[in-house]
Amino acid sequence: MRIRNPKDKEEVINSCNFIYKAEEGFKNNLPIHLEIGMGKGQFLLNMALNNPYINFIGVEKYSAIASIAIKKIRDYELPNLKILIMDAQNLPDILKNKVSCIYLNFSDPWPKKRHAKRRLTSPGFLKIYDLLFQDKCLIIQKTDNQELFDYSLESLQEYGYIIDELSYDLHQENIFNIKTEYEEKFSKEGIKIKYLKAHKDLK
């Protein structure tokens, strides 16, 4: 994936006043929902607008993409929305035992078998999520990729998750849904969106 660097990337990031800081948090006890791989921020922004009593954090590994999301979000000045620019593997350093729900929207499928451990529903990442969750593990995933979806279903269930909701064509279901930029693009191309919601009790 080639990522173009906006010329004003550093300025946009440095001037952002809604970067999540562990020492500050949200200054309330509302549940925290985490989107790992927030992309350009459309899903995160609309979720925060529609759910004022939930705190949202968007995680993006690439600063170039994060700067685009910041531009989309900043004028709304939402108290329940913050972002983190970091690798998901390092999230326990910041968010240990703080998260109620994780969204995995259109994650990189890493189709080659030797790259399976990089998939965000691989056992290695599920172990990381265990450290993030507060009391119960709750993961919601959307993808256009059938192979990743099949892998995720198997990986989650082998790890002890129970599948609560499942759809191979989300837009035909009566399920509350906020679309991402990728989702709108894929839908226009006639690609069916796969969806799951799964939970697991922490030991």
pLDDT score for 203? 74
pLDDT score for 100? 97
Under a CB-based contact definition with an 8 Å cutoff, are residues 99 and 131 in contact? no
Under a CB-based contact definition with an 8 Å cutoff, are residues 60 and 106 in contact? no
pLDDT score for 3? 62
Active site residues: 108
pLDDT score for 5? 76
Name which of 83, 47, 64, 60 is nearest 179 in CA terms.
47
Other C-beta atoms closer than 10 Å to the C-beta of 184 total 11
Query: Taking the model in full, what pTM does it have?
Result: 0.95
Under a CB-based contact definition with an 8 Å cutoff, are residues 61 and 120 in contact? no
**How far is Cα of residue 101 from the mean position of the Cα atoms in its chain?**
9
Q: Cα–Cα distance between 111 and 108 in angstroms, integer?
A: 8
Residues with pLDDT less than 50, the chain:
1
pLDDT score for 2? 55
